[in-house]
Structure 1
Amino acid sequence: MISTQAGPGTCPECGTATVSLRGAPPWCARCEWNLDGYDRAGRAAEFGWSPVDRWTFRLAVRSTRQQYAALAGRSLERAGWGPAAVVTVGVALLLLIGVLALAVAGVWLVFAYPFPNLAVPLGLAMVGLAVALRPRFGRIPPDVDVLTADEAPELHALVAEVAAATGAPVPHVIGVDGDINAYATSVGLRRRRLLCLGLPLWGALDGQARVALLGHELGHFVNGDVRRGPLTQTALTTLGTAADLFRPDHDTRDAGGGIFVLVGEMLGRLLSGTLSRLLFAGHLVLVATALRNSQRAEYLADELAARVAGTAAATRLLDVLLNPESVALVVRKAARGGHGPATWRAGTAAALAGATDRLPLLRQLSVREDTSLFATHPPAGLRHRRLTAGGWRDPAVALTDARVERLDAELRRHYERVGRAVSWAA
Structure 2
Amino acid sequence: METVDEVDAPQVRQCPECGAAIAVPARFVSWCAACDWNVDPSAPDPERGRLAVFRRRLAMRYGQQLAEEIERNGQAADQVGPDRSTVLAFGVSLLVHSVTMGLLLAAGALIIGGWHTRILPLFGVMLLVILAALLPRPGQLPRHAPVLYRADAPRLFELIDEVAAAVGTTGVHAVVLDTTHNAWVRTYGIRNRRVMCLGAGLWEVLSPQERVALLGHELGHFANGDVRSSFVTHGALQSLARWYAVLLPQPVVRLVYLCWNALVFMPRWAVYGLIVLLDGLTMRASQRAEYRADAGAARAGSTAAAITLLDRLLVGDAVEGHLQHESITAPQANGGSRDRETREAAEQALWERLAARIGSIPESEYERLRRVSAQRGHSVDDTHPPTHLRRRCLAAAEPQPARVVCDASRAQSIAAELAPARAWLARRVIRYNADY
Tell me if TM exceeds 0.5: yes
Contact 1:334–1:343 (Cα < 8 Å) also in 2? no
Could you tell me which residue of structure 2 aligns to residue 348 of structure 1? 358
| Cα distance per residue 1:143-194 (max 9 Å; x no partner) | 2312122321111111111111111111111222222211110112211100
Q: In the TM superposition, what are the counterparts of 1:211-250 in structure 2 within 5 Å?
A: 211-250=212-251
Could you tell me which residue of structure 2 aligns to residue 45 of structure 1? 47
| Cα distance per residue 1:172-219 (max 9 Å; x no partner) | 112222222111101122111001111232122111001011111111
Evaluate the alpha carbon distance shift between residue 147 and residue 48 of structure 1 in structure 2; reply closer, same or farther with a 3 A threshold: closer
SS of aligned partner of 2:75: coil
Could you tell me which residue of structure 1 aligns to residue 111 of structure 2? 110
Could you tell me which residue of structure 1 aligns to residue 75 of structure 2? 75
- Letter of the structure 2 residue corresponding to residue 44 of structure 1: P
Contact 2:247–2:264 (Cα < 8 Å) also in 1? yes
Q: In the TM superposition, what are the counterparts of 1:137-176 in structure 2 within 5 Å?
A: 137-176=138-177
Contact 2:303–2:394 (Cα < 8 Å) also in 1? yes
Could you tell me which residue of structure 2 aligns to residue 339 of structure 1? 349
Could you tell me which residue of structure 2 aligns to residue 64 of structure 1? 63
CA distance in 1, matches of 2:416, 2:165: 24
Could you tell me which residue of structure 1 aligns to residue 275 of structure 2? 283
RMSD: 3.3
Contact 2:178–2:199 (Cα < 8 Å) also in 1? yes
| Cα distance per residue 1:42-97 (max 9 Å; x no partner) | 24234479xx96x9876654433222212224024757423442232221111112
Contact 2:208–2:406 (Cα < 8 Å) also in 1? yes
- The reply to whether residue 394 of structure 1 matches residue 401 of structure 2 is yes
CA distance in 1, matches of 2:415, 2:143: 23
CA distance in 1, matches of 2:407, 2:56: 44
Evaluate the alpha carbon distance shift between residue 58 and residue 345 of structure 1 in structure 2; reply closer, same or farther with a 3 A threshold: closer
- The reply to whether residue 21 of structure 1 matches residue 42 of structure 2 is no
Evaluate the alpha carbon distance shift between residue 48 and residue 114 of structure 1 in structure 2; reply closer, same or farther with a 3 A threshold: closer
Could you tell me which residue of structure 2 aligns to residue 206 of structure 1? 207
Offset of residue 113 of structure 1? 4.3
Offset of residue 423 of structure 1? 3.8
Matched positions, count: 386
TM-score (norm 1): 0.79
Evaluate the alpha carbon distance shift between residue 17 and residue 151 of structure 1 in structure 2; reply closer, same or farther with a 3 A threshold: closer
SS of aligned partner of 2:184: strand
Could you tell me which residue of structure 2 aligns to residue 320 of structure 1? 312
Could you tell me which residue of structure 2 aligns to residue 35 of structure 1? none
Alignment match of 1:304 (pick from 275, 289, 296): 296
CA distance in 1, matches of 2:243, 2:287: 26
Alignment match of 1:271 (pick from 235, 249, 263): 263
Contact 1:2–1:19 (Cα < 8 Å) also in 2? no
- Letter of the structure 2 residue corresponding to residue 22 of structure 1: D
Evaluate the alpha carbon distance shift between residue 412 and residue 266 of structure 1 in structure 2; reply closer, same or farther with a 3 A threshold: closer
Contact 1:79–1:223 (Cα < 8 Å) also in 2? no
SS of aligned partner of 2:241: helix
| Cα distance per residue 1:209-230 (max 9 Å; x no partner) | 0101111111111222112111
Could you tell me which residue of structure 2 aligns to residue 27 of structure 1? none
Evaluate the alpha carbon distance shift between residue 204 and residue 92 of structure 1 in structure 2; reply closer, same or farther with a 3 A threshold: same
Contact 2:59–2:384 (Cα < 8 Å) also in 1? no
Evaluate the alpha carbon distance shift between residue 201 and residue 113 of structure 1 in structure 2; reply closer, same or farther with a 3 A threshold: closer
Worse overlay, 111-120 or 66-75: 111-120
CA distance in 1, matches of 2:321, 2:100: 47
**Structure 1: segments with no counterpart, 5+ residues:** 8-15, 25-40, 254-261
Evaluate the alpha carbon distance shift between residue 122 and residue 399 of structure 1 in structure 2; reply closer, same or farther with a 3 A threshold: same
How many percent identity over aligned positions? 31
- Letter of the structure 2 residue corresponding to residue 271 of structure 1: L
- The reply to whether residue 295 of structure 1 matches residue 272 of structure 2 is no
Bigger fraction of residues in helix: 2
Could you tell me which residue of structure 1 aligns to residue 371 of structure 2? 364
CA distance in 2, matches of 1:180, 1:119: 51
Alignment match of 1:381 (pick from 370, 377, 388): 388
CA distance in 2, matches of 1:87, 1:293: 12
